[in-house]
Structure 1
């Protein structure tokens, strides 16, 4: 009895793509954000959460007085505020944009530099918020400043050659002048900045009060990611397709 044979190329089983095709560091970041939120939402009471927001949220008023009078929260709050969220819509909105823009940034610069960008952009957006509202007693929480930094960073390469996810991380890094010379990149940056400036003057979107949106942190994070990205993009992608 002969063994059946087939013509043409040998059979290779088709590789199955994972259902959620995000870099591990982005999945880990999302997991941490949701774990913290779910603990606050279901395991802690309002009084405890209020204490957490005050202790680990960013409060510009802390820096008006001598730092020793405020305990040590002035030291960690410029980072920890980015891990806290005030409601389901807050965390879901940030999670969606983190997945969209954090993924190409993570694929391009790797996990370590992705996390370093998180830490530095959190600080940058917090103190931009403080500088524009010095001494304010309002508490800043949420990852939106960091997400805005990933948006700004992504603008430097995702529009190169008109490429889109998941190949966007292979694009050539554009100079600032090249970003504004590209119609798509220019439109994205201008629409994003104008939207946040409208919030600054009191315009609300999709039923969300402008007073509850920290536009200063958004703008500060975006500018940091956009301008400082070359400091993190120190390794050219292995494969560049032009």
Structure 2
């Protein structure tokens, strides 16, 4: 019996680990404050006041500090509503971040997270009607889902097989958002999910275009090398 060789284990990219550690550390600190383990039980409320995404700040409300209407587009993705909320988002980020890093390089992790967070905040600011603050990395997570979806569509088309399984997964994801929105009594930032997903699709299309161009150049160089070796 022969055993197929296995690929060597590749550690998680440092940028992904650092991002998850920072977000987890923030939530652990806030959870400790909530539990009375540190001296300031108001810490979560104060951080939400300065770091959450507040749509009112886009419509003339007075910010806590001058740059808050701009920093909230990123800071909201570093805060969460609780340990469970944070854990769910970080598990998704680790899984999808591994895929993105393996295919496109670890240098894409932080830019994609930033694009997803900002796009999620922008969509929330445009579409949300209530005044509740929005926190969580799910908008950024959905940007990673968008990149994965674009790659999967391209993979199906390259193999000349139907793309319907990909579209079914997108439909199921949309349905899950509807169900969760109803189950949570409207406390789901589907707008951020949508914005992050669309931004991720655009980001993924750019990454795939770059990958295709690199593959074309590599094949052209290989052909030139073969011709040169034959002379």
Cα distance in 1 for partners of 2:135, 2:24 equals: 14
1:151 corresponding residue in structure 2: 145
Which of 65, 71, 92 is the matching residue for 1:76?
71
- Kindly indicate which of the two structures has a greater share of residues assigned to helix: 2
Q: Give me the TM-score of the superposition, normalised by structure 1.
A: 0.73
Taking the aligned partners of 1:66 and 1:16, their CA distance within structure 2 comes to: 54
Question: Number of residue pairs matched?
Answer: 205
In structure 1, the partner of 2:43 is: 48
Aligned to 1:3: none
Q: Distance in 2 between matches of 1:119 and 1:16?
A: 30
Which residue is equivalent to 2:187?
Answer: 212
Any gaps of 5 or more consecutive residues in structure 1? 1-13, 163-170
> Is 1:30–2:11 an aligned residue pair?
no
The offset of 1:234, in angstroms, is 5.2
Instruction: Please name the residue that 1:236 is paired with.
Output: 211
C-alpha deviation, 1:194, in angstroms: 2.1
Q: Map 1:76-225 onto structure 2 (within 5 A).
A: 76-134=71-129, 136-158=130-152, 161=155, 181-200=162-181, 202=182, 204=183, 209-225=184-200
- TM-score normalised to structure 2 length: 0.76
Query: Pairwise CA RMSD of aligned residues?
Result: 3.1
Q: CA deviation at 1:76?
A: 0.5
Tell me which residue corresponds to 2:222. Answer: none
Unaligned runs of 5+ in 2: 1-5, 216-231
Q: 1:67 to 1:120 in 2, by over 3 A?
A: farther
The answer to whether the Cα contact below 8 Å between 1:58 and 1:126 also exists between their aligned partners in 2 is yes
Q: Which residue of 1 aligns with 2:9?
A: 17
Q: How many angstroms apart in 1 are the aligned matches of 2:127 and 2:13?
A: 34
